[in-house]
Structures are given as C-alpha cells and as structure tokens.
Amino acid sequence: MTRLKAFVAAAVLACAAIAAAAPSAAQSTPSFNCKKARTFVEKAICGNATLARKDRRMASLYYERLNFLKRDGEYQRAADLQSTQRYWLSRRDRCQTVGCLHQAYDQRIAELDNAWD
C-alpha cells in the first residue's frame, strides 16, 4: 500500500506542476492567431509577452461584459459596448510604438474593469 500512496502522491504532484505551468503559457499568447499577424500592431503584440497578456486580458473582459449584457437582455448596451470596442481597436491600430500599445491596453482594460461598477 505504501507504493500505491507514493505513486498517487507523485502523480498528483506531476499534475499540479503541469497545471501550474499551463496558465502562464496560455496567458502569454494574445487573443488572436499570431500566424496571421500582418500589421505592426499585431506583430508587436505577438512579439511582446506583456502586450500579449494585456491583449488576452482585454479580450476576456470585453467578451465577459458583452455576454453578460446579452444574457440580461441589455441589447442596446451590448451594441454600445461593441461600438466602443471597434473605436478602441481603430485607435489602437494607429499606434506606432510599443509604448503607445501598452498605454492603449492599460486604458481599455481600466475602462472595461470600471464598466462593472
């Protein structure tokens, strides 16, 4: 029985290590397919782990909020959110530096976080 306990303990530790490593790998990729990156903005996001995490965070907040509004029947507010997202994307896509992208993501993430208030 001692061997079985040791095996189970080792298996649990191995699974925990894999699970702990997986989120960081997934979070360092953006919300879009980098194989299709063509613009400066897309390539910059794909080439910068911090920007990629910000992109994933922003997309997560956006879709979380959008789905919440649609579930609650708040279709006009959902449409307004989609409109502000398109506007934000057009502003973000005008960035010519990585610093501009960081600032754009920080502002949008803050806006989406505050949308829950």
d(CA 19, CA 1): 27
- pLDDT above 70 covers what percent of the chain? 75
Of all residues in the chain, the percent with pLDDT exceeding 90 is: 72
Q: Report the length, in residues, of the chain.
A: 117
pTM for the whole structure: 0.74
Provide the pLDDT confidence category of residue 34 given band limits of 50, 70 and 90: very high
Residue that the structure tokens 């973000």 belong to: 92
* Segments making up each domain of the chain, as ranges: 29-114
CB 105 within 8 A of CB 58: yes
The residue among 6 and 64 whose pLDDT is bigger is 64
Q: Work out the average pLDDT over 86-108.
A: 97
At 27, the pLDDT band (50, 70, 90 cuts) reads low
